[in-house]
Amino acid sequence: MSLAGRLEEVELAELLHFLALNNRTGKISLTRHDGHGLIVVREGRIVYAASSSVRETFGNILVCRGLVPEETVGVALERQHTAGDDRKLGHILVEMGSLTEAQLQDVIKHQTGLVVQELCRWRSGYFRFEVAPVASKGEIGVDAEELVVADGVPTDQILLEAMTRLDEEEPATEPSARSIADAIFSPALRAETTVGLLRRAGAVVVRGLLLVVRGDEIQGAGQFGLEGSDNPDEGVRSLRLPLGEPSVIADAVKRRETWRGPVAETPANDQLVTLLGGLRPSEAVVVPMLIREGVGLVLYGDNGTALGPIGPVEDLEWALLEAGLSMERDLLEERMRAFEQARGFRP
């Protein structure tokens, strides 16, 4: 199998996630006008990563991290040169007692993560994935065997760290969040997603709304427990709340975390209360579904006119988290299948 394309069409993070989900083994070559990179995966786990823009010798990495003095690295390099048995520098330092095996593995994994993070920043260029055997022991045929992670690193762990770092460095963007939200509410997925989430919410609150984030506004998608209308579903689907105006929904989306408290009087909140029947609840909870680049869904719930407080909402938070991860996975697999078919590949 050979899979090739442009990074403008399929981001490296998406490709790596796809390979991890399908336990693929092989090598990803990356090129652009000012550099190149290589990532080796074995059964979906990353065992090696290198980039022309992140090129440090293993000895220099150890010195820069303060793990081994430069003089000690020099002694180990001399032993490596005179031994003539292709022993790796790290193993020699472990034998010398200058480095523990745990420190050795930690620094290799850390460096692998840094390289993958750097390559995930590429927004243009070309990639090629080719199935190739990757030995579970011994050398795998790369330039810097010192930096091979013998057991591999979980790809999702590296991607989580990379995406977290990227989120901290640059503002989130909307297209992917919007495309995931669109996929969630496609006809094939609407019923399964909405019914499942509303059922979970019904065990915590008396009434609730399921809302989808589309661009700069919130749109209604589903409900339970609403009264006072002949067709509450139609009323919910016609709901539009601008995210630019203060509301309990906008606050949860902006903060990307659960909001809980009284519903204050604002135009957007008043619109929401009108849909709910006109009586302002004493307490409400809003739980967002977090996806990689934003918020895809929002679940609003309250106890209506009941005086009792809302109980624990951890179950709702888990439900939205699970749904978000599931939708991202399904959307990614769908995109990769379409990409493979467009390139003439059939598994």
Q: Which ranges of the chain does DSSP label H, i.e. alpha helix?
A: 12-21, 58-64, 70-83, 89-96, 101-120, 155-169, 175-184, 187-202, 232-237, 248-255, 267-275, 314-342
- Top pLDDT among 140 and 252 is at 252
Q: Which whole-number Å values give the CA distances from 277 to 143, 206, 235, 266, 305, in the listed order?
A: 68, 13, 11, 16, 10
The amino acid occupying position 103 is Q
Strand partners, 46: 41, 153
**Residues 6+ positions from 8 with CB-CB distance below 8 Å:** 123, 124
Listing DSSP states for 199-222 in one string gives HHHHTT-SEEEEEEEETTEEEEEE
* Confidence (pTM): 0.49
Instruction: Quick: pLDDT tens for 17-72.
Output: 888 877 889 999 999 988 899 999 998 899 999 888 766 677 777 887 787 888 88
Q: Which two tokens stand for residue 119?
A: 């390559």
Q: Which whole-number Å values give the CA distances from 82 to 78, 104, 325, in the listed order?
A: 6, 22, 52
C-alpha closest to that of 208 among 310, 330, 60, 137: 310
Residue with tokens 């679940």: 299
C-alpha closest to that of 258 among 277, 236, 285: 285
Q: What is the CA radius of gyration of the chain?
A: 26
Using CA atoms, how far apart are residues 151 and 50, in angstroms rounded to an integer?
A: 17
CB 224 within 8 A of CB 208: yes
Q: How far apart are the first and last CA of the chain?
A: 8
3-class secondary structure per residue, 69-89:
CHHHHHHHHHHHHHHCCCCCH
| CATH fit for domain 175-332, picks 3.30.420.300, 1.10.357.10, 3.30.450.40, 3.40.30.10 | 3.30.450.40
Q: Which whole-number Å values give the CA distances from 54 to 32, 37, 302, in the listed order?
A: 15, 9, 52
Instruction: Quick: pLDDT tens for 165-208.
Output: 666 665 444 334 444 344 444 433 444 566 677 778 888 888 88
Instruction: Quick: pLDDT tens for 119-137.
Output: 988 888 999 999 888 888 7
Instruction: Quick: pLDDT tens for 214-238.
Output: 878 888 877 888 866 667 777 888 8
All CATH 3.30.450.40 domain ranges of the chain, comma separated, are: 175-332
